[in-house]
């Protein structure tokens, strides 16, 4: 009498092989998805230099806590950024946060300068403007300016202000402005709006 041998793979081993294959596929898909997620949340890697630019500050009434300009006074004050190397980025894709002591504000290209209450020259209608080019895409060698739309001088010795000049920002429609006094530390952060992460942060002191 002949004996038939069972040459089929054990059902248990078959199930184990299926589980192993399923786990491998799940791990590959998870790693791929994680890679995509990290790419979309990554800010451009760039090095920027930052310089305070003070063209002029005038205020004919230093005891009034608001700007009072001489006739026809204009000034291009603010922060000048230069792209020194790394990834390029669109000017519309960033916002700049500036802070002085406990107050701070964030400004981007969509914030409009209030032309009826500004010391900036006619034609400058935005706070963030590329210098020397108009493609609004910042690559190594390009410069852009964060303009300050106002300036003033505060004189109130009892409060510790002795002919203290400042530059300030108050976008159209904003209820409050933001001021930065000269000779005091200003912190800045260039933020990639897509990821919410900082491209660069640092500090500087404004001087004439």
Q: Is there a single domain that holds both residue 23 and residue 115?
A: no
Q: Is there a single domain that holds both residue 33 and residue 51?
A: no
Q: Is there a single domain that holds both residue 118 and residue 145?
A: yes
Q: Is there a single domain that holds both residue 17 and residue 85?
A: no
Measuring CA to CA, how many Å separate 46 from each of 24, 107, 127, 138, 197? 37, 19, 21, 10, 12
How far is C-alpha 181 from the chain's CA centre? 21
> Residue 189: beta bridge partners?
97, 201
Q: Is there a single domain that holds both residue 35 and residue 85?
A: no
Q: Is there a single domain that holds both residue 132 and residue 189?
A: yes
Establish if 1 belongs to a structural domain: no
Give residue 14's pLDDT: 66
Q: Is there a single domain that holds both residue 36 and residue 52?
A: no
Q: Is there a single domain that holds both residue 56 and residue 89?
A: yes
Mean pLDDT of 72-89: 97
Rounded CA-CA distance 101/123 in Å is 32
Q: Is there a single domain that holds both residue 184 and residue 140?
A: yes
Rounded CA-CA distance 205/190 in Å is 17
Q: Is 167 helix (H, G, I), strand (E, B) or coil?
A: strand
Total domains in the chain come to: 2
Instruction: Tell me the per-residue pLDDT of 118-143, one tens digit each, with 9 for 90 and over.
Output: 999 998 999 999 999 889 999 999 99
Domain range spanning residue 69? 46-205
Q: Is there a single domain that holds both residue 172 and residue 126?
A: yes
Q: Is there a single domain that holds both residue 81 and residue 158?
A: yes
Task: Quickly tell me which residue has 């990821």 as its tokens.
Answer: 195
Mean of all residue pLDDT scores within the chain: 87
Token reading at 84:
């020194």
Q: Is 17 helix (H, G, I), strand (E, B) or coil?
A: helix
């Amino acid at each position: 009498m002949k004996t038939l041998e069972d040459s089929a793979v054990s059902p248990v081993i078959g199930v184990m092989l299926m589980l192993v294959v399923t786990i491998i596929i799940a791990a590959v898909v998870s790693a791929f998805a994680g890679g995509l997620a990290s790419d979309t949340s990554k800010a451009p890697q760039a090095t920027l230099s930052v310089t305070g630019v003070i063209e002029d500050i005038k205020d004919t009434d230093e005891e009034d806590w608001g700007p009072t300009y001489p006739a026809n006074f204009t000034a291009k004050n603010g922060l000048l950024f230069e792209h020194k190397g790394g990834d390029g980025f669109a000017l519309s894709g960033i916002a700049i946060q500036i802070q002085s002591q406990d107050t701070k504000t964030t400004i981007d290209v969509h914030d409009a300068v209030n032309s009826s209450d500004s010391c900036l020259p006619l034609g400058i209608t935005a706070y963030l403007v590329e210098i020397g080019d108009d493609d609004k895409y910042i690559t190594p060698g390009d410069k852009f300016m964060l303009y300050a739309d106002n300036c003033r001088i505060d004189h109130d010795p009892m409060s510790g202000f002795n002919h203290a000049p400042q530059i300030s920002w108050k976008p159209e429609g904003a209820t409050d402005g933001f001021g930065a006094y000269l000779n005091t530390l200003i912190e800045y952060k260039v933020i990639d709006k897509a990821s919410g992460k900082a491209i660069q942060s640092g500090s500087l002191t404004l001087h004439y």
